[in-house]
Chain A
Amino acid sequence: MDRLRRTMLYVPGSKPGMIKDIYIYQPDAIMFDLEDSVSITEKDSARFLVSEALKQVDYQGIETVVRINGLDTEFGLEDLKLIVQSKPDVIRLPKTEKAEDVWKVEKIIDKLEKEYGIEKGSINMMAAIESAMGVLNAAEIAKSSKRLIGIALGAEDYVTNIKTKRSPEGTELLFARSQILNAARAYNIAAIDTVYSDVDNIKGFRREVEHIKQLGFDGKSIINPKQIEVVHDVYNPKVEEIEEAIEIWDTMKKAKEKGQGVISLRGKMIDKPIIDRAKRILDLAGVSYVE
């Protein structure tokens, strides 16, 4: 079963009160931020807080992601040195523009895993794409490393870079979203959409979530726990969809057992895309199945 990444909830790395009980909201992933939400003077303390939290707090199987500062800052390398020791599931790189950006961080993680006696390759990576150059290089970024489990759009920096601003319809993001989504699908990794900052506008938020789900995104980075329910509601399959998916899966299994080549259900042919879609519905519904 594929891991769900519908919601990736940001928490500022400098706030112990938020870090300690963020898991009660049950997002699919928690993203501890050491970058933009942490002031320059608290970069060191946030690093220690996130590191100790990862070592001591039981996040109950929720995926833990740490967004580090870029290696082009004085903080990036220090972040990696401390955070790798605490073994988060994923390290998220900001402002990725080319494959080399991923390789540089990967090389350091390789070295640190060895130094700390952590199993090689156990820490995954994600890359945030936040510029025109990054969007153009999305495919080379997506295939750059075995550690890379996903790419994410960071829209605020991106729209500034392409000389516009965000609109409710998101017309200006259509190219970047499509490019990132296709790159992720071509290399079989996750595609995560950008944040929606107007937390009180639930209607507008729901519209955007429906839009990115239709485009094919796995999920969205979110900044407030109250956005979780909306995303999960949009992504949760309807009862009829689940029943149909179970029926398709069962039909496929039975046909396989009998050695039938062509599978049909109520006169309709069941081919690979239909089976793949059924599998995705079962994943989203949390239904277990035998491959």
Chain B
Amino acid sequence: MKLKKRAVAGTMESSDIMVEVIPWDRGLEINLQSDVMKQYGKHIEKLVSEILEENNINNACINLNDKGALDFTIAARVKTALYRAGKEDK
């Protein structure tokens, strides 16, 4: 998948996660802020890395602000942000 532009998905509401995808050429960088960093920080990073790998994303900065989202929400928000970043502007 080719990222064409910066995109965001999600909200700052409880049980949600805000995801920002910025295309660049400096490899992969994942920045995570989370209300449950100590318990789930590593797990969230692994989950996001797997989705990036599935979509062959090797160059992007991913900023995550987690408000206690479950796995399905994290997956959905990352996939939405990637989908939006890969779309051409109308």
Interface residues of A (CB under 8 A from B): 16-17, 19-20, 44-45, 48-49, 51-53, 55-57
- Decide: A17 and B84 in contact? CB cutoff 8 A: no
Tell me the bound Cα distance from A17 to B76 in angstroms: 13
What is the CA–CA distance of A149 and B16 in the complex, to the nearest angstrom?
Answer: 34
Q: Contact check, A20 vs B70: say whether CB atoms are below 8 A apart.
A: yes
Q: Is the CB of B75 within 8 A of A16?
A: no
Q: Are A53 and B84 in contact, CB atoms less than 8 angstroms apart?
A: no
* Chain B residues within CB distance 8 Å of chain A: 9-10, 13-16, 69-73, 75-77, 79-80, 83-84
A48 touches B15 (CB 8 A): no
Give the Cβ gap from B27 to chain A, nearest Cβ, in Å.
26
Inter-subunit contact B84/A49 (CB<8 Å): no
Task: For the complex formed, measure the closest distance between the CB of A40 and the CB atoms of chain B, giving whole angstroms.
Answer: 13
User: Could you count the A-B residue pairs with CB atoms below 8 Å apart for me: how many are there?
Assistant: 52
Q: Is the CB of A16 within 8 A of B9?
A: no
- Once the chains bind, are B73 and A52 in contact (CB under 8 Å)? yes
- Distance in Å: Cβ of B30 to nearest Cβ of chain A: 19
Contact of B15 among A16, A44, A51, A57 (CB under 8 A): A16
B76 x A51 contact (CB < 8 A): yes
Q: Which residues of B contact A49 (CB under 8 A)?
A: 72-73, 76-77, 80
Contact between A17 and B75 (Cβ–Cβ < 8 Å)? no
Q: What are 11 sample pairs from A and B whose C-beta atoms fall under 8 A apart?
A: A16-B76, A17-B13, A19-B72, A19-B73, A20-B73, A44-B84, A45-B77, A48-B79, A49-B80, A52-B72, A56-B70
CB distance from B29 to the nearest CB of A (A): 23
B80 touches A16 (CB 8 A): no
In the bound complex, do residue A48 and residue B16 qualify as a contact, i.e. CB atoms below 8 Å apart? no
Contact A16 B83, beta carbon cutoff 8 Å: no
- List, in ascending order, chain A residues with CB within 8 A of B72's CB: 16, 19-20, 49, 52-53, 55-57
For the complex of A and B, the 4 pairs showing the least CB-CB separation, nearest first, are A17-B15, A56-B72, A48-B76, A52-B72
Whether the Cβ atoms of A17 and B14 lie closer than 8 Å is: yes
- Contact assessment for A52 and B79 in the assembled complex, using a CB-CB cutoff below 8 Å: yes
Query: In the complex, which residue of chain A has the Cβ closest to the Cβ of B74?
Result: A52
A57 to B73, CA, bound (A): 10
